[in-house]
Amino acid sequence: MKYWDSPVIRQLANRITPASYETAVDGLWTSILSLYFTVQQGYAIEAQVEPNAGSRKRCNITVSPFHHQHGLRKRIFCENKRQSGENDEKVWNAAQKQVRGYLEESKSNEDLYAIVGVGCFVRFYQWKAGPKEMPEILRAQVQDDHDKIHDQLLELRSKITPAFR
């Protein structure tokens, strides 16, 4: 099922206004991610989670695949901001810097992924484990670009799914 086929997702997206708080954007992305990364498939979606044990920072949402030998490992970090910042590059840069801090602090040797949502706009990034680079891989709008976002989420799922559970 594509996320935009869900009346729940459409309503969550359409309810986001400039007056909405960041939690509305968190709710939208938690709901979208839960369609692509299900508990039945071996994923945990968690809110307000530290990037690494002992950290004082908290990421809005993380997605962690389960591996029988290693347990849950955070692979996708999602940071969201309220809609009023959609057209403000300073808001985007601050959110990108914030999620980059989570990725650095996670101390993973694997490639990681970041999703930054500002209102109903989103940017996807890949964190390269070796060179510590974070290239943007998609810039989209939740309502208008739902097919592109759907394809990107399927690709992320294929990249973070452990070969052996």
Q: Which of 92, 17, 30, 31 is nearest to 61 (CA)?
A: 30
For residue 43, what is the DSSP state? Answer: E
**CATH, domain 3-160, list 1.25.40, 3.40.50, 3.90.1570, 2.50.20:** 3.90.1570
- 84-95 in b/e form (b: 16+ CB < 10 A) is ebbeeeebbebb
Q: Are 56 and 80 in contact (CB under 8 A)?
A: no
Q: Radius of gyration of the chain from Cα atoms?
A: 15
pTM: 0.94
pLDDT in tens, the chain (165 residues): 999 999 999 999 999 999 999 999 999 999 999 999 999 999 999 999 988 888 888 999 999 999 888 889 999 999 999 998 888 999 999 999 999 999 998 888 889 999 999 999 999 999 987 777 899 999 999 999 999 999 999 999 999 997 655
